[in-house]
Chains A and B, each alone.
Chain A
């Protein structure tokens, strides 16, 4: 080892030390392995399934605002004979709020859509794109629902109360009708409105005591948490339930009937009695089985 003396001048140890320090720096850096810094998309708002392999390369677009219903309907349609004959794919969309409804119905992008009458009327979709009603859910009533007593429709009673409403303005029972009431009683600025994202959120607000009353429909399982004695109907007539529409570009009656059959099966699978009652519109000449 002493023979190494002939190698280098006096600065040799310092150079060596410096190089060793540099080496350790880089080795240390290298131990931190770099990763892929892109996180893939995690929000899913559509689902596609294959229908007919030999069908023309067309897509049947479905729009419902509930994910479970959208997926279920898409899967059922992919197995449907008429659909498989006419379409290669079924693509179902959900979510997106009111903006999505505007796209799919207002611009006629959806072939099979589930929506409320006021939206269809807003865009005059039946005339603009030829949307034809397939079936509709029953009419219902809007109520003011309170926790501890039955609300009274009077200015004195409602003055200064906290009322829970939904935050999207297309809701009739949760927004439009109660606002009409407040407008009629000239109470717009005299009550505190607390907004919730959906009707279940409203029930949460009422149960927590964050509001004095909410404006909503009355579902059969609401009697578990609230009392039917403490609800007050509002609005002068019943509200039409949401409907299923098919965009008829041609006289595709087979598809119309096939869709009605599928919707009937879905209705039968429903545990709730409200969504189990579908009223089918005219348009299918043959009588279909299984109603």
Chain B
């Protein structure tokens, strides 16, 4: 059930119901039209038979003082109904002029046809058996509607889609968050098994950067200036944590030195991690200065778009 629910949404169901109704309507219309056509041919066959036999039937004709033999005509009508039933026609002859056959007529359609014979007009009464509407339902429209649904499913998206898969996946899946794992010294994403290792110094620096930028949104961090003390303290704190975890025994590094190298290591790790989700880079990627501005004094590498609920540090 859940499998079906995942693959078919309400739009699919609506389409299925609509197409089933349309197909069933077409099916019933075709069947009904053909049935009417067949019925008319059947009625004509009966008229033909009666017309051929008129000369041998003693029908009453008051103008010619002919009394008619009702018994003979009634017997003929019964034999005629037997012959009609043998041809499987949905008809019964009810009356010929004034002579009625013993047929049960329970709320079915009555038709009277007139045969213009040379000496008199003969009225032929017929009963048509209408089929129940249940017999018009069929399994074919249901099957075809299902088949149609299968074939047309790719076209049933609510909005027109770009063809790149990651975007499609990003819309339909839950949001991914950054995980900075101090215990394993790696960066990762929630809902993904991907893990990218990072060296101690850039790891601590990035952890501090995340915390600092979160606490001071809109801050400016320039490469050629000294880093804020809060940032450095945070980086030291994380480094001590690494020592506690047993990953290193060195003394605390100078986070001011080789800032460029640290940033490029962080960026490289993030590039690898966010390879399939480039849109997440806007959140976590320390912006690079492009072109001439790489050595500019004003370039800001702080994380401007960081959101509180989109990252976490594990192993603190």
Contacts and interface: CB of A to CB of B under 8 A. Distances in A.
A27 interface: yes
A16 B152 contact: yes
A167 B88 CA distance: 39
A40 B30 CA distance: 30
A218 B76 CA distance: 30
B154 A37 contact: no
A25 B29 CA distance: 7
Given A35-B87, A195-B65, A197-B68, A29 B151 contact: no
B22 A21 contact: yes
A154 interface: no
B250 interface: no
Contacts of A271: none
Interface string B150-168: 1111110000000000000
Interface in B251-278: none
A42 B154 contact: no
Contacts of A201: 67, 69
Given A24-B27, A24-B30, A35-B87, A1 B153 contact: yes
A30 B27 CA distance: 10
A272 to B, nearest CB: 20
A184 interface: no
Contacts of B35: 32
A226 B76 CA distance: 30
Given A35-B87, A41-B52, A20 B148 contact: yes
Interface residues of B, number: 52
B117 interface: no
Interface string B19-40: 1001110111111111100100
A289 interface: no
A201 B153 CA distance: 77
B30 A39 contact: no
A32 B34 contact: yes
Interface string B76-113: 10011001100111000000000000000000000000
Contacts of A35: 38, 42, 87-89
Contacts of B72: 197
Contacts, number: 124
A37 B41 contact: yes
Contact of A13 (B32, B76, B88, B155): B155
A4 B31 contact: no
A273 to B, nearest CB: 25
B151 A16 contact: yes
Interface string B37-80: 01001101110110011001110000001111100100010011
Contact of B26 (A16, A24, A42): A24
Contact of B23 (A2, A24, A197): A24
B83 A23 contact: no
A37 B41 CA distance: 7
Contact of A195 (B56, B57, B67, B150): B67
29 contacts: A1-B153, A16-B152, A20-B148, A24-B23, A24-B144, A27-B140, A28-B26, A28-B28, A28-B138, A29-B31, A31-B31, A31-B34, A31-B138, A32-B31, A32-B38, A34-B41, A35-B88, A35-B89, A37-B42, A39-B45, A39-B46, A39-B48, A39-B49, A39-B83, A39-B87, A41-B52, A43-B53, A43-B57, A195-B65
Given A28-B138, A39-B49, 5 more contacts: A5-B154, A24-B141, A27-B140, A29-B31, A32-B31
Interface of B: 19, 22-24, 26-35, 38, 41-42, 44-46, 48-49, 52-53, 56-58, 65-69, 72, 76, 79-80, 83-84, 87-89, 138, 140-141, 144, 148, 150-155
State the 7 A-B residue pairs at the shortest beta-carbon distance, nearest first: A28-B30, A28-B27, A28-B31, A32-B34, A25-B30, A195-B67, A197-B69
